[in-house]
Every structure is written in C-alpha cells, then in structure tokens.
Structure 1
Amino acid sequence: MRSVARAILIVAPSWIGDTVAAHPLFVRLRQHHPQARIDVLAPPWVAAVLRFMPEIDGHIIDNPFAHGQLRLKDRWRLARELARRGYDATYVLPNSLKSALIPLLAGIPDRVGFTGESRYGFINVRHTLDEKALPLQVERYAQLAEAPGAPLARPLPKPHLTVPPETVAASFSAHGLAREPAPVIFCPGAEYGPAKRWPERHFAELARTLAAQGRPVWLLGSKKDAPVGDEIVRLSGGAARNLCGVTSLSEAVGILAGAHYVVTNDSGLMHVAAALGTPLVALFGSSSPLYTPPLSDKARVIWLQLSCSPCFQRECPLGHLNCLNQIEPNRVLEEADTLPTK
C-alpha cells in the first residue's frame, strides 16, 4: 500500500451509530495522509452526520443501494464515475461482499478492509479481526488505518461532531423552539427493533416528572419512531412534544447539541449525542455497552445485565423484555442527577 495517498474513498456504514463510530478512523487517516482529499460513499440518511466531521473535506457521494440490492448495472455505472476521480485507496467499512464490489469495479488500487464475507480479491489490503483485542466498534474501524497485523495505536480519540453555534440556533428556530430553558431530549426509537426500546409508559412517567419541574421534554427520532412518540405524548398527558419525523437529521443534531441532557435507547442518536458532548443517560437491554457504548465522559449507562441479556435479538425471545421493563423511571432520574453540565 502507498505510504501517502492523494485521494481516499471511504465506503461508509449504513447505520448512523456506526458512522459516528468511524470518526476516529477518519482522524487517523487525516494524520497519516494530511494532504489527501477524503471522499465518502454513503447512504443519504447518514450524510448529515458526516458533514459535521471536518476530516471529511471532499465529496459525500450518494450510495443508493439498499441492503440486499445487487443492481449490478447500476453499481457498474457508479464504479465508472468513481474511477474518474482517481482514488489511490479506499477503506471499506461494511463487511459485506457487495460493499466491496464497487471499489473493485472502480479499479481503486488499494482496497482496505476486514476479510469479512470471504472478500479475497475484493479486499487486497486485508485485516483479520481479533475480537478480544478490539472489543469496541470504534477500535475495529480505527484499526483499518494501520498496516495489517500492526497494533492499534493508542490512546484512540473519541468520536466528535463539530456543530457551529449558528447551526444549533437555526435548528431550534426552524421549528419555533425556545432554547431556554434547555430541553431534555428523549430518543425513544431504535432502528434495530423493539428489544432495544425502553417502554413508552416509562418515558411518559419520566416526562411528567420533568414537566412538573418546569423542564421541556421533546422527542427526537425518525418517521418510523413517530407512532412511539405519539404514544408517549398520550400517556404523559401532553407533557412531551413529539418531534420524531418532523426534523431533518441535521436539525436533530443541532437540537441535541443544545439539549440540557438526553435520555436514549441504544440507537444512532445516542452515539450522536455522545459525540456532541451532550450529557446523556443510555438505556441498554438486548444489546451490550461492552461493544457499542456511548463514548463520552458525560454519559451514564444503565444496563441490568440479566442472565438473558445481551441476546442481540430484535424482539425479546422470552416475551417479557425484563431487561428494559425493570429499569424504572426513578432510576433514570437518579442517574440524570449525576450528569455533569455541558
């Protein structure tokens, strides 16, 4: 592999949280290749997060291929477009075979990634994952900046999003939201499935308590989370305001940056809030904070570590969801009271 690249293409993950977790890799690549142009091939729903990473100073190129789609002719056309951009190296973060196909077709000389789905030939600068040595997702991505077999350089920078104050102000004003008193933000969704979602009744009870203290409570998430948000508003008697699906991702980032603190499931917005340095309480059930924790000194994690968790299932296989049902709102409020200020 070339010692210094002139143009680098990142093939980004399809999840917001994974994209945030890739930021330390981008920092390392900028250190190793200070003059290189760094472009990213990314799905449109994660592009807004990338725009808050100053290391990404090139183009964010739309990756239009949904999970499972081959569309070989369309991939070939995109590969030909990328070939004209003259990349020296590409870093393929997803482990799927299809994610490595476009860089191969584009003829990019150095194609860096984990072997993944037997991607011999597709990936020609191959890393072998040592899960014990690299338990965290951020470590695994950052490892790709090193030569295969070389140890990960430590200490590793934490993910960080840089949001200008004017972006924060514009995000609030776009929806007629007052910045004072600063709101508590709930992120009640989880794209992976209901086994990662704290119950709506618990969010509602916490919203009523905070509203009684004079603290605004707003809900952030995607359009898919809007029904969950509506139920929380109903159960709370209107103590919360549902913004799920109302804001763009860029506006959600700005609002999270201006929050008093955040209460969140293990979700992409959890990682966004942590990277912003916003205080947060993260609730883990079917997943594990040993793999994808919020990497922030201003985060508190509640994980009951029941014998049945983490199961990493989309729905509770036992039908009770005790790993989240048994996290009481008072416990969350107690943790929130220990949070540092921004």
Structure 2
Amino acid sequence: MIVERDQIRKILLIIVAHMGDVVLATPVTRALRSAFPAAVLHMLVSPLGEEAARHNPFINKTIVYTVTNWEKDRSLLRKLIAGLQQEQYDLALASHYGSLGPMLAWLSGAKYRLGFDADGGAKFLTHVVPSLRGAIVHESEKQLATLEPLGITTRDTGIVFAIYPEEVRNLRQKVTVIHDRPLVLICPFSSHSHKDWTIAGWTSLLQSLAQTARCFLLGGQKELPPVQRLAAAAGNAAEVFAGSLTLGETAALMAEADLIITVDTGPMHVAQAFPAPVLALFGPTHPQVWGPRRPHDVVLYRPQECSPCWQKAEYWPYKCGNHACMEQIPAADVIQAAKSMLQRRPTLQPI
C-alpha cells in the first residue's frame, strides 16, 4: 500500500513508555510537523510521559493511556478506543518497540499504520519497519526510522522542550538563582536503582564542587528520601529540590544552569534542550543508545564484561547484585570532568 501523503490530515503518534522515550520522540514530531505543516498531530502516552509530551511544541494534543490491566480496566479501554476512533486519524505511528503501540494503532482505525516488526506488532501494521535490536543505534534515530515508509529522512535529532511563562514564575517563587558563582544541577538517582552511582562518590563530588559552585540536588518525589540522605552525608554541601519542582520548572532551572550532572534518567534527556553541558554517568545502559550526543557533553562509562545489561534476557530482571559498572566509575574522574567542564562553560543569561 502506497501512502498518499496529500490525504494525511490527522496523525497519531503512540509512545506508551517512559519519560525519556517521549522526550527522544521530539525529532519524530518535528519531522512530521515539517512534512505535514497543516496536519493535526496527537500523541498517545502513558502517565509517565504525560508531562514531557505537554512540553513538546510540535504536538496539538496529548492523550494519556491509563489502562494498567486490560481485564480489570475494560471500561477504560473501551473509552480509549472509542475516543481514538472518533478522531478519525489518517496515520498512526508506533515509534517504540513492543506490540501495544501497533495494536493501539490498529484499534484507532487509522488507514495507515507504521511501526516496527518487533514483538508481534507487525500484524497490526500496514507498513512495517525492520527492528534494530542488537544494533548500536541511538534511540532518537531508531524512532526516526518509523518515518521511512513516508519517505521522510532527517539528521536533525536535537531536543526541544517548551518552557511556559507560568513555570518560570513558579520557579522564581521556589528558587532564588544568583549568578555569583556557577550553578550545578545534579540528578543522582534513577527510577531504576541499578543505574545509580555510589553515595560515597556523590559525597566526594558535592564536597569538592561546593567550594566554588552552588549545587542543587534534583529528583522526583520518590527520590526525595535518598536525596535528603545524600545531602546529609555530604554535610549539606548541596540544596535539595527533589520533589518540589515540576518537570517544566526543572527545565526552566536547567536553562539557567552552568552544568548538569546526572545518571541515565529522564531529566538527562530534557537537559539536551538547553545550553548547559551534561556530564552523564552510565553503566547498565549503552551511552551510544541513550546518552547525550552534543559535542560539549561528556559521558563516563566503565563497562564490565556484562555491560550493557539493560534488557538482556540473561540479566533480566537485573540479576547483577553489585552494579560494578557504576561502582567502578572513580569519584576523581567525575570531579575532574566536572571542573574541566565548568572552566570552559559559556556565560549564560537568566531567562
């Protein structure tokens, strides 16, 4: 079936996955907006990706998939399907691996349905893209591959994250940013503990940076207790803002930062939208697939024999007991990299 592009007026992009996956879909939405400037573009996401989707400037509407159990939540599922079919989409894309996205594309009733052949999803699609499992391809490029049946190609994998005026105003009420010394934002914990670095390493880093920089510890509400313990272990060398900022407010703060230090977590991808360099610590996941890619970013990665183990069947669900790949990253290396990046930082203007 040939896609008649002039007939595409309403598009559904399906990414029922994590926040980072939604942020890394920015290149797909930008390419779709460029190819179909007059089309209506909706994004279907999970609650984990909702806030990120609402900050995508290329999206007209965000739909949240709240079905957690198809057997128990049949009324929610029927409501979702009815709502999707009522939209009368011309094109539906599932840019994430798995069968759920392709199945929802099929249930939407869209004439053209694009996605990967992984995990049984091909039977729901009109145009199938070969999966790239095993290949070292960045997630943003992998998602862009779903556009190939449309004849759309692009090398622009840059991230865009819109900041709204009310988020800047709210941030000003919560945080006072004084540019008398460098501002370093630190995201020390992931929602998956095997991605975390050591408390001893973070403590050494904070105590070293606090001598010349102002350090803020960030994270969600779930990360607040470990962040508070880390701050105490470091002698309160950093201010704690975990659990007190929305994602949009965090982004507004990133826009004023001089350096962002993080493990592999959602905010790391959001940080790619702003000028501050990112120092990322990697272990279980492959930095060439998930890491920052700009010239001024730095990744510290000490792979072990089993690295990267993320979603490898022999290590699922995370059978590694010592997380050696993260523990082997020396604090001295992180401190040296951070200080070097601060020395060559550009001068940023407050938003």
TM-score (norm 1): 0.89
Q: Which residue of 1 is the match for residue 330 of structure 2?
A: 328
Match of 1:27 among 20, 30, 52: 30
Q: How many residues align?
A: 335
Question: By how many angstroms is 1:318 displaced?
Answer: 4.9
Aligned-residue Cα RMSD (Å) equals: 2.4
Whole-angstrom distance in 2 between the partners of 1:336 and 1:187 = 14
Q: Which residue of 1 is the match for residue 306 of structure 2?
A: 308
Q: Which residue of 2 is the match for residue 10 of structure 1?
A: 13
C-alpha change, 1:69 and 1:250, in structure 2 (3 Å) is farther
In the alignment, does 2:249 pair up with 1:251? Answer: yes
Whole-angstrom distance in 2 between the partners of 1:101 and 1:132 = 24
Q: Deviations over 1:250-307 (max 9, x none)?
A: 2112112221211100111111112323211000011111211112223100001233
Q: Which residue of 1 is the match for residue 157 of structure 2?
A: 157
C-alpha change, 1:75 and 1:101, in structure 2 (3 Å) is farther
Q: Deviations over 1:1-36 (max 9, x none)?
A: 231310111112421111121111112111221211
Q: Which residue of 1 is the match for residue 218 of structure 2?
A: 220
Match of 1:146 among 134, 145, 148: 148
Whole-angstrom distance in 2 between the partners of 1:25 and 1:264 = 25
In the alignment, does 2:201 pair up with 1:202? Answer: yes
In the alignment, does 2:44 pair up with 1:41? Answer: yes
Counterpart AA for 2:176? L
Q: Which residue of 2 is the match for residue 109 of structure 1?
A: 111
Question: By how many angstroms is 1:167 displaced?
Answer: 5.7
User: In the TM superposition, what are the counterparts of 1:167-178 in structure 2 within 5 Å?
Assistant: 169-178=168-177
Counterpart AA for 1:34? P
- Unaligned 5+ runs, structure 2: none
Counterpart AA for 2:37? P
Whole-angstrom distance in 2 between the partners of 1:315 and 1:335 = 32
Match of 1:121 among 109, 123, 128: 123
Q: Deviations over 1:138-169 (max 9, x none)?
A: 11100111218x7x8353332232436x4663
Would the aligned equivalents of 2:31 and 2:154 in 1 still touch at CA under 8 Å? no
Question: By how many angstroms is 1:314 displaced?
Answer: 7.5
Q: Which residue of 2 is the match for residue 184 of structure 1?
A: 184
- Unaligned 5+ runs, structure 1: none
Whole-angstrom distance in 2 between the partners of 1:101 and 1:185 = 40
Whole-angstrom distance in 1 between the partners of 2:167 and 2:80 = 35
C-alpha change, 1:124 and 1:145, in structure 2 (3 Å) is same
Would the aligned equivalents of 2:16 and 2:101 in 1 still touch at CA under 8 Å? no
SS at match of 1:53: coil
C-alpha change, 1:15 and 1:239, in structure 2 (3 Å) is same
Would the aligned equivalents of 2:163 and 2:248 in 1 still touch at CA under 8 Å? no
Q: Deviations over 1:234-258 (max 9, x none)?
A: 1111111222222112211211222
Higher helix content, 1 or 2: 2
Would the aligned equivalents of 1:208 and 1:236 in 2 still touch at CA under 8 Å? yes
Identity %: 23
Q: Which residue of 2 is the match for residue 72 of structure 1?
A: 74
C-alpha change, 1:283 and 1:171, in structure 2 (3 Å) is farther
